[in-house]
Structure 1
Amino acid sequence: MKNISKIFMFLLIIAIPQIAFAESSKIGVVDLQKVLNESAKGKEAVKLLEVEFEKKKKELDIKENDIKKLEEEISKRGSLWSEKVKQEKEEDYDKKVKDYRRLQTDLKDEFQRKNKNFTDKILSDIIELVRTVGDEEKFSLIMEKQNAIFTSSTIDITDKVIKLYNGKEKGEK
């Protein structure tokens, strides 16, 4: 009987700090991707990128059409040309394809770089805001929602962060 009471006392001593921690801890989750996609600043960044790269995309489309026209010309009239003319056209075609691919790769790389710059800046601001919310509302832990297997909607602070971030941005303008 003494052993059972000792074991019970030992378990109670171990359990008390955990119970106290569970009562005082406040946990939250935030969906950073949703904040990026739905915040005013995130939407603005997407629009800026789209506008900037739309013109460059049109240039790329023009080059692609030129290549297609040249390819059609070579296939239709190639048999009528001399070897020298045919070779020059094929070399011109190869050069245009190579330039097109290089431009396509450069545009993709530039887009990814600028997108990363916008995203990093916005994420930095969002994380700072999440820390502020955590401090003000006495959260013990706020983690990114994608890293959790399951979360209750009651601990999701994403919409609150979006609202605060949009309000913060309006206040700065």
Structure 2
Amino acid sequence: MFMKRWLVLFLVCISWILVPIAMAAQAAPVRIGIIDTQKIIKDSKAAKDARAVFQKEQVKRQAAYAAREKEVVKLQEELKNLDATAPAELRKTKTDKFNLEAKELKRFKDDLEEELRRKEIELTTKVIQDLNRILADFRKKEKLTVIIYKSSAAAYDEALDITDRIIKIYDSQTGKKP
């Protein structure tokens, strides 16, 4: 009798272990895709076009900064070359003007850097938003279980990398937009 109870208990425990294993074996296979967002941002035509526009703006702003910097350097040279016999009022006026222009130049540079950072974040955010939409559609269409960023994967088989396919889709979809 005692042995019978142990046998029944043993069989119940084994069934608790084997039933979930059998159910998991019947589940759909896990399909994974890996993407490299840095490669997409670097290689996709749409991202390159956006980056080119960004860089043109950056060049314009750098030119404006260089022109203002040149004016400040010129004021500094004028102040430095001011004759020792020059009136104190003239020296004070030039010094005040130089200090004001130097302060404005620094403020202009800080604003320029902040605006460039903000625009770069906007550009990256837009690319990531477009990618998320594309990835959701791609995952459903290809019946993938999960798509993982390359930076999150310690090691993977190159056959799982879908980056080039995503770049083609991204470029084709952004090429249609006005």
Indicate the TM-score class for this superposition, using the shorter chain for normalisation.
0.7 to 0.9
Q: Which among 10, 19, 38 is matched to residue 13 of structure 1?
A: 19
Which range moves more in the overlay, 119-128 or 88-97?
A: 119-128
CA positional deviation for 1:116: 2.7
Deviation string for 1:42-67 (max 9, x for gaps)? 01111111112322211100111221
Residue number in structure 2 paired with 1:126 = 131
> Match for residue 36 of structure 1?
41
**Cα deviation 1:86-109 (Å, max 9, x = unaligned):** 222111111111111111122222
* Aligned-partner Cα distance in 2 for 1:152–1:122: 26
Q: Secondary structure at the match of 1:44?
A: helix
How many pairs are equivalent? Answer: 172
SS at match of 1:53: helix
Instruction: Tell me which moved more, 149-158 or 70-79.
Output: 70-79
Letter in 2 for 1:149: A
Q: Find the counterpart in structure 2 of residue 53 from structure 1.
A: 58
Rg comparison, structure with higher value: 2
Deviation at 1:141, TM superposition (A): 0.7
Identify which of 78, 83, 88 aligns with 1:83: 88
2:3 corresponds in structure 1 to none
Matches within 5 A, 1:91-106: 91-106=96-111
Secondary structure at 1:142 match in 2: strand
Gaps of 5+ in 1: none
More deviation, 9-18/160-169: 9-18
Specify the code of the residue in structure 2 equivalent to 1:105.
D
RMSD over aligned Cα atoms? 2.4
User: What 5-or-longer segments of structure 2 have no aligned partner?
Assistant: 1-5
Structure-2 separation of matches of 1:94 and 1:104: 15
| Pairing of 1:139-150 with structure 2 (within 5 A) | 139-150=144-155
Counterpart of 1:64 in 2: which secondary structure?
helix
Q: 8 Å contact 1:78–1:86 — kept in the other structure?
A: no
Structure number having the greater helix percentage = 1
How far is the alpha carbon of 1:6 from its aligned partner? 6.0
Query: Partners in 2 of 1:53 and 1:169 — Cα distance?
Result: 23
Which residue identity does 1:44 align to in structure 2? D
Match of 1:63 among 64, 68, 75: 68
Could you say which residue in structure 2 is the equivalent of 1:168? 173
Distance in 2, matches of 1:95 and 1:66, equals: 12
One-letter amino acid of the structure 2 residue matched with residue 150 of structure 1: A
CA contact (8 A) 2:41 2:127 kept: yes
Q: Secondary structure at the match of 1:24?
A: coil
* Identity between Structure 1 and Structure 2 (%): 23
TM-score with structure 1 length normalisation? 0.83
Counterparts of 1:68 and 1:97, CA distance in 2: 9
